Every structure is written in C-alpha cells, then in structure tokens.
Copies of this chain bind each other. A is one copy, B any other.
Amino acid sequence: MEYSNEFLMKLYEELLRCRLFEKKLVDTYALGKIPGHIHSGLGGEACYVGTLATRQQGDYFKNSHRCIAVANLLGVSLETAFSEIMAKRTGNAGGRGGVNHVSQLKYNMLGFSATLACDIGLAGGAAMRLQYDGIDNMAYTFYGDGTANRGPVHEAMNLAAVWKLPVLFVCDNNQFGISTHVSQGSSVPNPGADRAGAYGMPSEVADGTDVLAVYEAAKRLTDHIRAGKGPAVLECKNYRWRGHFEGDQTPYRDKAVTEEWMKKDSVAKMEKLLLDKKIIDQAAIDNMYQQIDDEMERAIAFAEASPAITPEEIYDNLYV
C-alpha cells in the first residue's frame, strides 16, 4: 500500500503514545501510586494502533485490559485516565472502577469487564444500535488469545454473524494467558482467526509487531464490514514483553525467546521507516518522546493533586 507521510506520522505518533503510556503505567505502578494490578501492554501496541487506524467517527470500541492507552487514543484525556488509574475523583468513574475501566461513553467506548469475555457481546449490541438506526459505522472488540477460549466469544461471533452485525473481533494474540502458552490453551495455532470460519466470517492473521501490517489487514476486513457484509476476525501475533501483571517474573518461559521477540519492536520499526524515508529526523523523534512524556507527567501530577472521592460518595453512580 501507498501511504501519505501524514498518515505514517499519525500512526507513529499513536504508537508512540501507547508505548510511552504503557511504560509510564509500569513506572507509576512501581512507585506504588496505583492500587490493584496493572497489565502492561508493552509489545502489543501495534495490534491496537494498527487496527484503530481504520476507525471512523461514530464507531464503537470495546477495549481489553492489555492496552489501557487505547482510551487516550480514543479521546479520554490523560488527566482523566491517570486520575481513574490513581483512584481519584477526577477519573471517569471517580476512582471506583480503576485501571481496567478507563472509559468514556462520549468517546464511544463501551467499557470493559475484568471477567474476561463477559463483555465481548457489547460490540454486537452497539452494532445492533447502528443497524437499528441505519448508521454506517461499526464496532471493534478486542480480546486476548487466552480469552478466545471462553464460550461468550463464540456466542458473540455467531450472533454477530447470524445478524450480520458490523463488528470486528480483534484477537490480541500475545501468546500467553498469564502463564499459559497459546498452544496449551488452544487447539489451533490461531485462536482468533482459525475460528472465524466456524461462523462464516472472513479473517486475517497479521504480524502484530508491524503496525502497517496490522493496518492493512484491518483495512481489508473493515472494508468488508463497512460494506454491510457482516463481522470479521483479525488476529495480531505479538508477544507480551513483561509479566502478566507487574511482579510476575515469568518463570514459565524462556528469556531468550522473550529477548528475540522484543527485538521485533513495532515502535523501532516505524522509527526506522520514518527515518529511512526521511519523513522525520532523530531530533524530532526525541522531541516527541519528550513532549509526550511531559504531557503524561503533567497528567500524573494533576491526578496526584486531585482529591479522592469521600465515603459519602460511595453510593454515587450505583443507581440512576
């Protein structure tokens, strides 16, 4: 495919934002500023960014727990995001939901369930609404290779297919569900794409460390979906760089393999491309790193300075 410089730069910037966001999450967690657990998305950014490069105004999104940065791409301010992550009143749920639930409906985000796959049907529901109103948009739903083995995924695929709903199922295959390698969890090598046929859907497997490869596959599938031909499955193969959660020392896998995979760095690939094509120079890249980092530092400072909700507010938002 031919790309405009502008498009490549946009892709790169989104990728970089995700990368730096996911890094910042790890660092901030290490400082003890985040409750609960985080699941670093480092290594998987291209799956999300490449897919979402096909998005259009009015589309709906169901994110995974693996790349919280997506919320920011879709419109949630860093202030709101970090406030929720740091459990502050200024977060979208006032710190009641937390890191997995950084989400705003005004940006067409459908939310996330930490009971994996129980949210997979939401995209179909949003797609029903689009179909109902005769709107030409679509819905994206992200899930992991491990989650692919849960029943609701299959039910949702069949329902979307039988109702010809405009849904893209995106399987972020980072090869592990916690410690369980994809080959231990799934009987087929591609737990996303290999199951599309069971519902008569088209599918693609993309190199999930290459944002352009992901974009191209996503483009073909979203063209199909936007043409009213029903749902599809995109699977992006990548590798989870870090432990499942921070603190997981990954005793169940081979460090050498991890290191090999970490060389397939989607951000580095894009930087090389942009430098080779002379679309950008190193100084500009450095500058972008700095700017995004500054933005995030400001957002974190904002979150830190923000108050938490009070006990009196504990029941707020439960019932309308």
Contact = CB atoms under 8 A, between A and B. Distances in A.
A158 interface: yes
Most chain B CB within a 10 A radius of its CB, from A154, A162, A185, A201: A154
Nearest to A157: B187
Interface string A177-196: 00000001111100000110
Contacts of A154: 151, 153-155
Contacts of A187: 158, 161-162, 199-201
A195 B198 CA distance: 4
Contact of A149 (B158, B184, B195): B158
A107 B28 CA distance: 61
A197 interface: yes
Nearest to A160: B187
A228 interface: no
Contacts of A194: 197-198, 200
A37 interface: no
Contacts of A111: none
A150 B161 contact: no
A243 interface: no
A86 B153 CA distance: 40
Nearest to A117: B151
Given A194-B198, A198-B198, A200-B187, A155 B162 contact: no
A162 to B, nearest CB: 4
A125 interface: no
Interface in A141-161: 149-155, 158, 161
A294 to B, nearest CB: 46
Given A150-B155, A151-B154, A154-B151, A185 B162 contact: yes
Nearest to A152: B151
Nearest to A188: B200
Contact of A197 (B153, B161, B184, B197): B197
A41 B309 CA distance: 60
Nearest to A196: B198
A158 B187 CA distance: 6
Contacts of A185: 162
Contacts of A197: 194, 197-198
A196 B283 CA distance: 54
A82 to B, nearest CB: 36
A199 B199 CA distance: 13
16 contacts: A149-B155, A150-B151, A150-B155, A151-B153, A151-B155, A158-B187, A161-B188, A162-B184, A162-B185, A162-B186, A187-B200, A187-B201, A194-B197, A194-B198, A195-B198, A198-B198
Interface of A: 149-155, 158, 161-162, 184-188, 194-195, 197-201
Q: Which 4 A-B pairs have the closest CB atoms?
A: A151-B151, A161-B187, A154-B154, A198-B198
Given A151-B154, A162-B187, A194-B198, 7 more contacts: A149-B158, A151-B151, A151-B152, A154-B154, A161-B187, A161-B188, A162-B186
